[in-house]
Structure 1
Amino acid sequence: MLTSLSRLSNLLVTVAVGPGILTHEYAHYAACKLSNVAVYTRPALHPFDDSALLEHESVDSFGADLSIAVAPFLANSLLAFVAFALASGLDSGSRLLFLWLGFCFGFTALPSATDTETLLQTAASLPATVRPVGYLVAYPVRTATLSVWATGILTFVWTMTLAGGAVTI
């Protein structure tokens, strides 16, 4: 019974924000390629499973780790902003499509706890002179992803910020 509910939940999430999930994972993929990090699988949606995860080799470099972790934030935020901007100038039918896309991208922009789990370790491997800067960046990013509640609130606030005037409540 629990497995069936989990599968149904995963299907509903995939239908609701599938484009955002894919762009989130492809942003990781692009960051891996740009950082010369080997990728083992390409992202794909699995509607009844909770995985669309990108598998890549472990990363020892803080710069590569950070770029892979935050790439979806940059890519999906940009896509959400563009979708919301386009929505604000369209008629009702097209507007709804671009609003949905904006929400898909916005709600999937923040990194997950899995995306940021190695940031503190790679920051610790930085040379002593720049390690404090690494921690200054890594701690807030990691902390923001540790709590599902905090991430949910941040996601909502960030998406509504990106939506700007395109969405009126």
Structure 2
Amino acid sequence: MFIPGIFISIATFPGVIVHELAHQLFCRLFKVPVFEVCYFRPENPVGYVIHEPAQKVYQTVFISVGPFIVNSLLCFVIGFSAALQFKFDSANVLDYLLMYLAISIGAHAFPSTGDANSLWNAVVKSKTTSWLSKIVVTPIVGFIYAGALGSFFWLDIIYGSAVAMGLPYLIIKFLV
């Protein structure tokens, strides 16, 4: 079943907001000036952060992949609290809402192709970047593009569900 990405983004808007917050968080962490932020809008792109280029390669990498780190962690923490209730058959409306929130956040963990392009241009195409940095960053860019391609096959929703429900279920299973 094909559903245009904009409808998925609208349905999972909390994840878009957290995605952009993660970019902004890493910009602030590395003291990279941010010029403009759009946390959500119902058009393409659904959100963005415009910032000054980072001074160091690792900063550029973390700003680009920040959503993968932040969204995945939040997805797991929020999902775990709801999954506990599902496991013990005591889930209520709030738990379903938390699970929706967790999956929405997890579904937007993958950096966008715009993030990949920024990373590629800032690191791989740069004449001042070391060859080692280029070797490390190239597969990261490939991973981002694979995630974007996978979203056509619902990989983003599958990932969010696996982190929010699957991982907590496995942990609970081994602990209880």
Offset of residue 166 of structure 1: 5.7
Q: 1:137 to 1:157 in 2, by over 3 A?
A: farther
- The CA RMSD over aligned residues, in Å, is 2.5
CA distance in 2, matches of 1:157, 1:60: 35
* 1:87–1:96 CA contact under 8 A, matched in 2: yes
When the two structures are aligned, how many residues end up with a matched partner?
A: 155
CA distance in 2, matches of 1:35, 1:140: 23
User: Per the alignment, in what secondary structure is the counterpart of residue 68 of structure 1?
Assistant: helix
Gaps of 5+ in 1: 1-5
Q: 1:137 to 1:151 in 2, by over 3 A?
A: farther
Offset of residue 78 of structure 1: 0.5
Which structure is higher in strand share? 2
User: Per the alignment, in what secondary structure is the counterpart of residue 79 of structure 1?
Assistant: helix
State percent identity of aligned pairs.
24
Corresponding letter in the other structure for 1:84: G
CA distance in 2, matches of 1:119, 1:48: 23
Quote the residue 2:123 is aligned against.
Answer: 122
* 1:60–1:122 CA contact under 8 A, matched in 2: no
Q: For each residue in 1:123-157, what CA deviation from the matched residue of structure 2 results, as whole angstroms up to 9, or x when unmatched?
A: 55334xxx32x234312221122253235555345
CA distance in 1, matches of 2:27, 2:21: 10
TM-score, structure 2 as length reference: 0.75
Quote the residue 2:143 is aligned against.
Answer: 144
Offset of residue 48 of structure 1: 4.6
Quote the residue 1:100 is aligned against.
Answer: 100
Does 2:163 match 1:164? no
Q: Which is further off, 140-149 or 61-70?
A: 140-149
TM-score, structure 1 as length reference: 0.77
* 1:144–1:151 CA contact under 8 A, matched in 2: no
Gaps of 5+ in 2: 86-90, 170-176
